[in-house]
Structure 1
Amino acid sequence: MNLLNYILWNPPLYLFHIGGFGIRWYSTCWLIGLLLAYFVVKRLYKEQKIEDKYFDPLFIYCFVGILAGARLGHCIFYQPDYFLTSWPHVIEMLLPIHQTIDGAWKFVGYEGLASHGGTIGLMIALYLYYRKTKVNLWTVLDNIAIATPTTACFIRLGNLMNSEIIGKVTDVPWAFIFERVDGAPRHPGQLYEAIAYAIIFFIGWYFYRKSAKKVGSGFFFGLCLTLIFAFRFFVEFTKDIQEPFEAGLPLDMGQILSVPFVILGLFCMFGGKWMKKLGAD
């Protein structure tokens, strides 16, 4: 195996520093993804003549829902044996701080976010937004779903910059050597997902342009869930396990959590009209 044939990957964690404060690539990618979704949904609301007063609080609901859900999802799904075993660890789960060996607290940011948890958090946040504004629930879900793949794409690019959620060892010519991890050529699973989510965004946008009248039926929400989590299920075969307990499972945690989302997505695409009354004005 000639390691010179592969892509050496070890980018800096920080985009830039201002004094002693640094801006991480990961945080920047999250921000770019959220801003892109913000502008996409703003345009959709404008085209659908939904009043600005209903759009203004939407970003706050989505931001809090995604961040809280992603954080809790990682802690509960992937590391419950750590975060649920002591009060200091529970505090670490809820706040972006970590207790050092000497008992002091250090700001570290949120180290560990799960996309499945973020999706659940987003869905809960959108339901609360619907209850507050009374905008048709399916309209809200469809519009967010059209924009969501842009955020998912940049989150995975952030993972790539962090050299995390790495793939299995491989000899494919486009393999990455994550120097921060080890010297083995691996599948760039983060890049696979980022490219797929970008394509899924354009698929959703194409269908929206062809049939905007479907907004409010649950079709776009179902399409987004189905495509993203079906791809997520299969791409997991190229990725290394994230936690040791997954080694004894027939499917990893990402695949197990993807199945119900695919089922929900298919139901919303083809049976959403049965539940449309839930989002009635």
Structure 2
Amino acid sequence: MEFLAFIHWNVDPEIFSLGPLSVRWYGLLFAIGFLGGYYQGERMFKFENIKLEWLESLFIYLIVATIIGARLGHVFFYGWDYYSQHPGEILKVWHGGLASHGGALGIIVALILWSRNVSKRPVIWIMDRVVVPTALVAALIRTGNLMNSEIYGIQTNLPWGIIFERNGETVPKHPTQIYEALSYLLTFGVMLYTYWKTDLRNRQGFIVGVFFVMIFLARFLIEFIKEDQEAFESGMVLNMGQWLSIPFILGGIYLIVRALKRPPVIYKN
């Protein structure tokens, strides 16, 4: 007996509209993620007696960097053939097209600038704290992808396969957005425990190393059952998302080993 006979998905990405403006699930979940991230960051800063005004500037750096980095990542990694011919489309973020690898690179650049201009501490110190709520934001963004009926997987006969009817699909596909969201939530839980329940938060680079390994290893593996995002990926042994994940995984392993070999660092405020 088929369980649920698969899931038929035809959710409207738009929640409601007010004239020319519309509120979409993706944007709402994106905003909720950042607000939840700010709350987590505030708890950490208070726990460590860090200046809260640092958090306010950090929040602005991260929002701008995430949007710009994710957009440029999509433009250069996945759609350069199109955008090189239509440069005016690059600014039209509302048409869709954000790449998580680009967002990650944008955040790293922003944290380097913030560390130099604001905290005057090594960038690895703030990275260990920022990546904790970032995993939660990533999970909510993938949930937004589900609401948009985008970035799903190949055909499956598993009972939780989803037929994305809004896209004209007639067969069930792997809900890879859900797989990724769950893996990111697991990463969030592991890092929360590490920060609040252990002293590993003082070993610089350990938490961000865990983030890179868990997030991008999950991404690498899930890509095997995900449909290609661009036509040029069809002949590749590993797709673009997998190639871009490998440096993060290797970097994460290096950071974990390095952190465990070095003594803890505790700053006095």
- Is the shorter-chain TM-score for this pair beyond 0.5, marking a shared fold? yes
Identify the residue that residue 244 of structure 2 maps to in structure 1.
Answer: 257
Superposed CA deviations along residues 122-177 of structure 1, whole A, max 9, x for unmatched, are 00001000011114422210000111110000000000000000110010000000
Q: Post-superposition shift, 1:216?
A: 5.5
Contact 1:54 1:135 in 2 (8 A): no
Q: Post-superposition shift, 1:273?
A: 7.6
Q: Post-superposition shift, 1:4?
A: 6.4
Identify the residue that residue 99 of structure 1 maps to in structure 2.
Answer: none
The answer to whether residue 105 in structure 2 is matched with residue 111 in structure 1 is no
Identify the residue that residue 28 of structure 2 maps to in structure 1.
Answer: 28
Identify the residue that residue 210 of structure 1 maps to in structure 2.
Answer: 197
Quote the Cα distance in structure 1 between the aligned partners of 2:4 and 2:11.
Answer: 18
Of 121, 130, 136, which residue of structure 1 is paired with 2:115?
Answer: 130
TM-score, normalised to structure 1, is: 0.88
Runs (5+) with no aligned partner, structure 2:
none
Structure 1 segment 266-281 matched on structure 2, within 5 A = 266-272=253-259
Superposed CA deviations along residues 57-116 of structure 1, whole A, max 9, x for unmatched, are 00110001111010000010001111123xxx22221x22xxxxxxxxxxx715100000
The answer to whether residue 232 in structure 2 is matched with residue 235 in structure 1 is no
Quote the Cα distance in structure 1 between the aligned partners of 2:202 and 2:175.
Answer: 35
Contact 2:8 2:163 in 1 (8 A): yes
Identify the residue that residue 105 of structure 1 maps to in structure 2.
Answer: none
Contact 2:203 2:262 in 1 (8 A): no
Q: Post-superposition shift, 1:268?
A: 1.2
The answer to whether residue 77 in structure 2 is matched with residue 90 in structure 1 is no
| Identity %, equivalent residues | 40
One-letter code aligned to 1:188:
P
Superposed CA deviations along residues 193-233 of structure 1, whole A, max 9, x for unmatched, are 11111111011111112224524611111111110000100
Secondary structure class of the residue paired with 1:180 = helix
TM-score, normalised to structure 2, is: 0.92
One-letter code aligned to 2:23:
I
One-letter code aligned to 2:140:
F
Identify the residue that residue 170 of structure 1 maps to in structure 2.
Answer: 156
Of 129, 135, 138, which residue of structure 2 is paired with 1:152?
Answer: 138
Secondary structure class of the residue paired with 2:8 = strand
Quote the Cα distance in structure 1 between the aligned partners of 2:19 and 2:262.
Answer: 53
Identify the residue that residue 78 of structure 2 maps to in structure 1.
Answer: 78
Indicate the larger mover: 32-41 or 225-234.
32-41
Quote the Cα distance in structure 2 between the aligned partners of 1:128 and 1:216.
Answer: 22
Secondary structure class of the residue paired with 1:57 = helix
Secondary structure class of the residue paired with 1:109 = helix
Indicate the larger mover: 175-184 or 131-140.
131-140
Contact 1:29 1:157 in 2 (8 A): yes
Indicate the larger mover: 123-132 or 266-275.
266-275
Q: Post-superposition shift, 1:237?
A: 1.1
Quote the Cα distance in structure 1 between the aligned partners of 2:231 and 2:135.
Answer: 29
Secondary structure class of the residue paired with 1:5 = coil
Quote the Cα distance in structure 2 between the aligned partners of 1:33 and 1:215.
Answer: 26
Indicate the larger mover: 2-11 or 73-82.
2-11
Indicate the larger mover: 169-178 or 202-211.
202-211
Secondary structure class of the residue paired with 1:17 = strand
Q: Post-superposition shift, 1:272?
A: 4.4
One-letter code aligned to 1:183:
T
Quote the Cα distance in structure 1 between the aligned partners of 2:262 and 2:89.
Answer: 39
Contact 2:4 2:159 in 1 (8 A): no
Quote the Cα distance in structure 1 between the aligned partners of 2:146 and 2:165.
Answer: 12
